[in-house]
Every structure is written in C-alpha cells, then in structure tokens.
Chains A and B, each alone.
Chain A
Amino acid sequence: MNIHVLYGTETGNAEMVADDIVDALSGDVTIESTDMSKFSVADLSTEVFYFIVCSTYGDGELPHSAQPFFEALNSQQPDLSGLQFAVFGLGDSFYETFNRGSEIIAQALIELGAEQVGERGMHDASAGQLPGDIAMPWAKAVLSGL
C-alpha cells in the first residue's frame, strides 16, 4: 500500500509527528511525508492512503503551511470520491479552539467526497506527552483497520 503523510505546521511540531509516522510505518508500507504547502491538490490520488497531520494556530486557525492547500481545495473543488484519509491533530486544550485546525481540514476533505477512516487522533500540548508517542500507535491502529 502507498501512503502519503501530509502535514500542516506552524512551529514544526506537526512535521515532527509526520516524521514519526513515517518512521513507525516505513517497515511495512511505502510511505513518504510532504508539507501541505508544497503539495498540489491535483496530485491527490485514490491509489494512495493519506495521513493528514495538522496543528492549530492563533485563535483556532489553520497553521500557515496548511492554508494554501485548504484554499486550493475550496477554489478548485476537486471530486475526492474514493479518496481515503485519517486525521491527526495537534493543539492545546488550554484554548477553547483545541484541535480546530485538524477539524477544519478534515471537514474540507469530507465535503469534497473523501472518506475519513478511523477516529481522529489528537495530541494535547498541555498534557505533557510526546506527540509522536500518541501518533505512532494511532497510525498503526488506523492502518491495521484498513
């Protein structure tokens, strides 16, 4: 199976999680990761399973590196029927807008016909755990459920 991890990051934490997911799964599957800001919506493929890793920034906004991808989804309105993805979000439960970024991006994909697989994984910066320690078992569980 072909897997692509797309991450949207502001401080680099989501990028670190994406790297961790790649490390955790690279023994079993073909997997790579890309910053969403460097990924073209036109390259989304039903042949590939996507892990979307996205943080939240400011007052519940998308991180900067996710914004061009999100805007391209909105403006191009591609038909994403048959596309499968799972979402992992990073946030800080200290704020009301906890993990809003990952929700926004997942919602955009679903509205275009894509199917979200499994529960949304979430990391809480205020909880003290390493994001990778939560993301890696989560990614493995998602994969085994496919």
Chain B
Amino acid sequence: MSTPTVAIIGSGPSGCYIAQALRREWQDAEITLIERLPVPYGLVRYGVAPDHPGTKAVTRQFERMFEREKIQFLGNVHIGTELPLADLRAAYDIVVVATGLYGDRKLGIPGDALNHIYGAGQITRFLNDHPDEEEFLPSFGTRPIIVGNGNVAVDVLRLLVKKGEEFDGSDLSHEALTHLVSSPIEHIDVVGRSPAALAKFDTVMIKELAKLANVRFEFNDELELESIDDPLAKAKVDALLALAKSGSEPDSIKRSVTFHFGWAPVRVAGIDHVAGLVLKDTQNPHRQQSIPATSIITAIGFEERPELDLCRTDLSRPDSDLPNGFLDDGLYCTGWFRRGPTGTIPDNRADAKHVADNIVQAVKAGSLALGKPGYSAIAKAIQSPTVCYEDWKRIDTAELKNAPVDRARRKFRNKVAMLGAAQSHQAGENNQ
C-alpha cells in the first residue's frame, strides 16, 4: 500500500503532535508542517507564559521529530493568503488544520468596546514578543481588572504583579519588562463567575502565586471550606486561603490583588476608556457592586476570527464528523480548532492521537484516494521566502546566543529580523 502525502497547517503543539502520531504509522510518508510565522511551535512559544520554561521545554520533543523523523517544516507560509487552501488540498492527500483559536472572546456586555480593554491572548502574545504585537503597547493604569478564572487569567495576573528580578531565567524581553515595570499597577481585581471551589484554574497555579514577594492577596467574599466534599476542589480553596497569608512584611507590600468569586460582569463603565466594571452576584442578581478600573483584561476564552482565519464551519459539510476530526474528503482538524478552546498541551496530544487514528483508519479502509504529489506541487506557487527547519535552527541559535545572562532566550521581535537570521548563513557562504 502506498503512503499518503500529509500537510498540517499550524506548528503549535496540536500540529506537532499529529505529525508525530502520523509518522509513527507511516515511516516514509511525506509530512509537511506549515506555519504562517518564520518560527515554529505556536502557543508553546507565544502562549505559554515566558516564566514557565519547564513547560516550554516540550519543544525538545518536537525538535527531535524534525531532526530524526524527517518531518518537513515550511515556515512563513500563510494558507489562505500566500497559498489558497484549495491548492494545498489539491497537492496533498491529507490536510490537517491545527491552527488553534486566535481571537480573544469578548465580554459581550455594554461598554465592552471601550479603550483599554484587552484580550488575554493579545497580552500573552505581547509578553512573549509575538511579531503581531510589535506595535502594541497596552495601557494598564493603576487598577486593571482581570475577568476570567482559568489558568490564562492566573498567568496574566502573575506576569503583571511579578517584580523584575523574579523573571530571572525566563525569556521575557527587556522591552516587555520595561513596559511592565513602568506600568504603575497598584491593585488588580480578578473576577470570575464560579465560586472558588469551581474555578477553572489549577491548584498548582495558585501555589505559584504564593511564592511572589510584595503582593497581598484578599477575597471579596469569605471563602467557605466546610461545604466542599471534593478533595480537588478543597485543595484549590486551601491553596487560595494560603495565598491570603503569603507575601512578605506588610510595609514592603507594593501591590494588592482581590479575587471576586461568583461575580459576573454586567456593564463596563466609562466614556471613551474604561473607568470601572459593574458586577452582579451570580447567586443573587440583585446584589451588584461597581469596582473602579483603569483597564480590563478579558481571559474568558478564545474564538475564531471570521474573515481572517480558517474557520471550522466554512470547511465543514453536512456529514462532517467533528468528534473524529473529519471535515471533508482528505481534510481533517485537531486541537482547539477541532474542539474549542479547552484543555492544555497534554489534552491536545490526546486529541492529535485520536484524530491520527481516525485518519489512519480511513486510509486503511481505502476511503481516501492517494497519489497526490505533496510539496513539489506547491513549491513554485509560494512567492514569500520560506523557512525550512535548518533556517529555524539558525534563528534559534541566534536567539539563544543573544540571550542576556539572566534570560534563557532573546527572541527576535519581528519577521524581518527572523528572516534575516534564517538567511544569515547564505550571505556568509556567498562571501567565501
């Protein structure tokens, strides 16, 4: 039986994991991982917080996949603008969409279009030096509010309250740090609909907050422990209660954080820009409170951006089988793009394995016609300078070499610089 040609769109964790899973099945198949940026790894590079290098180290696995398992990296190619999806599908037997969800979900309440409201995804990209955010300079003011109670909300909270020296060993850039430390943040309110015991963040994320110096944590309502039976929920609330006792000596405390559990946003107050947020008690909607704010960061999930990105509904047909990642003949999807913005890196590994199994079954059952040529059929159509894996390694090497002593990496902050580093060897070779 001949093996298929496979193109995967998106080189984040989902795209890498499905490439890995398909390679295990087909040792000789041509597998191309296409990325719109010149650099791979998507949310591992640009979504995982810069102070979580251990989590980012999952890229070691993916490096190995490129280096030993002949997965082709094709960077700086945007499917949709640079190359139509239809052309890619005409060239490859199987196309897998693993582009995730780029857009930040909006609050959907009056006033949510005021200035100084930012999505957590954009903030995270900014703090990770994503080239899309090179010009973005959020104005947090003295009292930002974070809306959301997931791990993303806690990431943003931690990054906003950390002191400069607490970023040692991270890959936070001096541009991002300068912006953070120049932000005159005094107080942050964190608002979530669920009671504390049902909040979505992981306990370990709360325990990490307790290590921060110079931050005082408090709660809008008293947290109740007696009524919680579930041990995981109890551990979560215990970790929160321990937070209130953390922090260094009171006179050294510079910033404070208040958690509001069980409160939902009703309306953003302000003219032109944010002045406050009106909340209602989710158990008792007549009980409302208004908290002053200079900015709002929404961390309530991610969504498609119609017109801008590949969208799932546009690619589906009536008999699409989304639970198994099947969209159309030879067209599949995995990760957040398939099932929505829930789950972390391990969940996307499981998702990719599941969809890969389904693709393999379809090929074994003969329900997919094979024989499309793969990369050779699209190579000529791509006008932009492409980035292969060796090019990326040159970018990577330069970024590691450029790192200041207290940083793990110094990322290039725009595509021009990335492409320059990618091509640097060729200039050198020409000179010889």
List residues of A whose CB falls within 8 A of some B CB.
Answer: 10-13, 16, 57-59, 63-64, 92, 94-97, 125-126, 128, 130-131
Contacts and interface: CB of A to CB of B under 8 A. Distances in A.
Contacts of B61: 11-13, 16
Given A58-B202, A58-B203, A11 B54 contact: no
B393 interface: no
Contacts of B207: 59, 95-96
A36 to B, nearest CB: 15
B58 interface: yes
B114 interface: no
A59 B203 contact: yes
Contact of B54 (A10, A12, A94, A96): A94
Given A12-B17, A13-B61, A59 B202 contact: yes
Interface in B72-126: none
Interface residue SS majority, chain B: helix
A126 B58 contact: no
A16 B64 contact: yes
The 8 A-B residue pairs with the shortest CB-CB distance in the complex, in nearest-first order: A125-B54, A92-B54, A10-B346, A59-B204, A125-B57, A59-B203, A126-B54, A11-B58
A20 to B, nearest CB: 9
A64 B346 CA distance: 9
Contacts of A63: 346
B54 A16 contact: no
B53 interface: yes
Contacts of B208: 95
Given A125-B54, A125-B57, A12 B408 contact: no
A130 B59 CA distance: 11
A9 B346 CA distance: 9
A124 to B, nearest CB: 8
Interface in B194-211: 202-204, 207-208
B408 A128 contact: yes
Nearest to B17: A12
Given A59-B204, A130-B60, A11 B346 contact: yes
Given A59-B235, A126-B169, A131 B349 contact: no
A131 B20 contact: no
A37 to B, nearest CB: 11
A13 B58 contact: yes
A68 to B, nearest CB: 14
Contacts of A95: 204, 207-208
Given A11-B349, A12-B58, A57-B346, A126 B53 contact: yes
A126 B55 CA distance: 9
